[in-house]
Amino acid sequence: MKVTKALMPTLRDVPAEAEIVSHQLLVKAGFIRRNAAGIYSYLPLALRVLRKIETIVREEMDRSDAQELLLPIMQPAELWSESGRWDVYGDEMFRLKDRHNRDFCLGPTHEEIITDVVRGEVKSYKQLPMNLYQIQNKYRDERRPRFGLMRGREFIMKDAYSFDRDSAGLDDSYQTMFDTYVKIFDRMGLDYRPVEADSGAIGGDDTHEFMVLAENGEALIAYCSSCSYASNVEITEINDTAKEKLSEKPLLKVATPDKKTIEEVAAHLEVPQDNTLKTLVFDADGEKIVVVIRGDRILNEIKLKRLLKTDFLEKADEESIQNLFNCDPGYISPLGINEITVYADNEVKYMTDAVCGANEEGYHYLHANTDRDFGEMTFSDLREVVEGDLCPKCNEPLIFARGIEVGQVFKLGTKYSESLSAKYLDENGKEQIMVMGCYGIGVSRTMAACVEQNYDDRGIIWPKEIAPYQIVVIPVQTNDELQYTEAEKIYKELLAKGYEVMLDDRKERVGVKFNDADLIGYPLRITVGKKIADGIIEYKERNQSESEQIQPDELYDKIATFFKK
Ligand SMILES: [Zn+2]
């Protein structure tokens, strides 16, 4: 392709609404244009990247015996009513009506449709296991579409669904997809980690997220400095071990007038915050519960929801706490609490000589000793992990990193096969429910995540596996006959060898061409300038700062080596 013929509208400035690097660079380098909030056109450069990502996904999915199909974007409401999700999906679903006033939606996901297809066509255990996938647009009416392709309202996904005879079969299908995802993201040249993730309060089933590591990532992950453990910090397990007792001093009531927060109380009593106790009150499914954690810790509500097996959890308001404890919320503690269920973080179990509220306005206790002074408590891992906590697998320190979720593998179990009656006959002619898994990859999001991970102050640095073009050939002076002829000769030779090449044939200053080349992020740049008269051209890799002067006949071996390594 020649630049003069291409639609690649690079910009000097970035639109003000572009908040993150990938959004800024994809707009500036002429890859995407916004048509409405969260809705984008993919211009030719972007489409080439998307196609490469899709090709890698397809090849690896096909290799793992998954079959591609294509499901409708427009889905009838009946199926969603059958699964029970039409009424609960909420405002994120784009809904529409046909001319007969029948309800439809634009698919935010395809569990209902695929289960409908499979229940109609798969009847025997002999047809299982089966894994079906598609690559197409999904629709979610985000409240605040932002960050370019990261949180759009229309986006491209690969979604796969596995159907098995039983949960052992699902375990195998899940592992196969996990391994397939590793191959896919390895091939894309991305630095990523599969991490254990939250499967929801009721679930408890396995799920992993595939995170591309990037400074601006939305998600925080904890990974082990020594073994392969990694998890979303939302669920990172913490093993708190027994600590030695600090003292056996008796409880001592002290005045703490107007000192209600942990910071205020600790400062007033001159004790470290890690030797105070924080008592919280929640409304969980209509019942009040008390949660106790170390004063300097943060409660992890996802862990608490999982422990309580509820999706409904809310902080109790001041008034109801006041009524329950007969005391200002700033002075409450589990001391003498019998009628309310008390949950405590594992770490609290071993605390001695701690500060806690006196359940009396203006007073705290010193020297509280959990196992001596408090009533019945249910201990569990309830706090948020901090960097340096020990790995739950090997006890080495955990390190934090930010990531962008680009894929997820999830064990659905029988949630949809049960509500939609996807059944098969086993060897004995007995009806059984199919067991399902689902596996997503955000295709358009992967392109954005790749930019978040691979850029510098000049522009994008595409991994060569998914770059829109592999090489750009630049004649310094397009008007100079020798320079242009030689550049065009190299361009044609590279095309003939099967490379994806762009020839920058514009009559622009060479600085402009270099800037665009760096901005767009071609992995290789070949420059033909006036030294061509002495048989010298310039070779430069985008991710190296130095260029090399070489002879044209060295070029092809060098390029072959670059793309093979
Ligand atoms: Zn470890």
Q: What confidence tens digit (pLDDT) does each residue in 265-301 have?
A: 999 999 999 999 999 999 998 899 999 999 999 999 9
Whether 96 and 189 map to the same domain: the answer is yes
Please tell me whether residues 91 and 159 are part of one structural domain: yes
Expressed in angstroms and rounded, the spacing between residue 222 Cα and the centre of ligand 1 is: 10
pLDDT in tens, 458-468: 999 999 999 99
pLDDT score recorded for residue 330: 93
Residue 278 burial (C-beta neighbours within 10 Å; 0-12, 13-18, 19+): buried
Residues 6+ apart with CB under 8 A from 251: 365, 366, 367, 368, 373
Distance 419 CA to ligand 1 centre (A): 40
Q: 411: CA distance to ligand 1 center in Å?
A: 24
Q: Which domain holds residue 146?
A: 43-208+407-451
User: Do residue 277 and residue 167 come from a single domain?
Assistant: no
- How remote is the CA of residue 223 from the centroid of ligand 1, in Å? 8
Please tell me whether residues 88 and 189 are part of one structural domain.
yes
Burial of 260 (0-12, 13-18, 19+ CB in 10 A): middle
Mean pLDDT, rounded, of the chain: 94
Residue 495: exposed, middle, or buried by beta-carbon count in 10 A (0-12, 13-18, 19+)?
middle
> Cα separation of 205 and 173, whole Å?
14
When pLDDT is averaged across residues 540-545 and rounded to a whole number, the result is 96
| pTM exceeds 0.85, yes or no | yes
Mean pLDDT calculated for residue range 225-248: 86
Q: What is the mean pLDDT of residues 391-409?
A: 95
- Mean of the pLDDT values across residues 76-102? 95
The two three-digit tokens of residue 133, written as one number = 């996938």
Residue 535 lies in a domain: yes
Number of domains the chain contains: 3
For residue 436, give the CATH number of its domain. Answer: 3.30.930.10
Indicate if the pLDDT at residue 437 is higher than 90: yes
Q: What is the pLDDT of residue 336?
A: 85
383 CA to middle of ligand 1, Å?
19
Assess whether 430 and 493 both reside in one domain. Answer: no
Per-residue confidence (pLDDT) for residue 14, from 0 to 100: 87
User: Which of 52-61, 247-256, 441-450 is the least confident region?
Assistant: 247-256
Which of 380, 398, 430 terminates a domain? The answer is: 380
> Do residues 56 and 160 share a domain?
yes
* 200 alpha carbon – ligand 1 mean position (Å): 24
Tell me which of 332, 364, 380 is where a domain ends: 380
pLDDT at 565 over 70: no
CA of 388 to the centre of ligand 1 (A): 12
Q: What are the φ and ψ backbone dihedral angles of 352, each rounded to 5 degrees?
A: -135, 160
Instruction: Give one DSSP letter per residue of 354-407, joined into a string.
Output: EEEE-SSTTEEEEEE-HHHH----EEE--BPP-TTPBPTTT-PBEEEEEEEEEE
Q: How far apart are CA 449 and CA 230, in angstroms?
A: 19
State pLDDT tens for residues 342-374. Answer: 999 999 999 999 999 999 999 999 999 998 999
What's residue 509's pLDDT?
Answer: 96
Distance (Å) from CA 348 to ligand 1 centroid: 24
Same-domain status, 52 and 124 = yes
Distance between CA 378 and CA 376 in Å, rounded? 7
Residue 278 lies in a domain: yes
Task: Look up the CATH number of the domain holding residue 538.
Answer: 3.40.50.800
Task: Give the type of residue at 354.
Answer: A
Alpha helices for 155-203 (secondary structure H):
167-187
Nearest to 450 by CA among 17, 15, 56, 5: 56
Mean pLDDT value of segment 243-268? 90
Average the pLDDT over each of 101-105, 198-202, 263-267, 282-286 and give the range with the smallest value. 198-202
What share of the chain in percent tops pLDDT 90? 90
- Together in a domain, 494 and 351: no
What is the Å distance from ligand 1's center to 398 Cα? Answer: 8
Q: How far is the CA of 225 from the centre of ligand 1 (A)?
A: 7
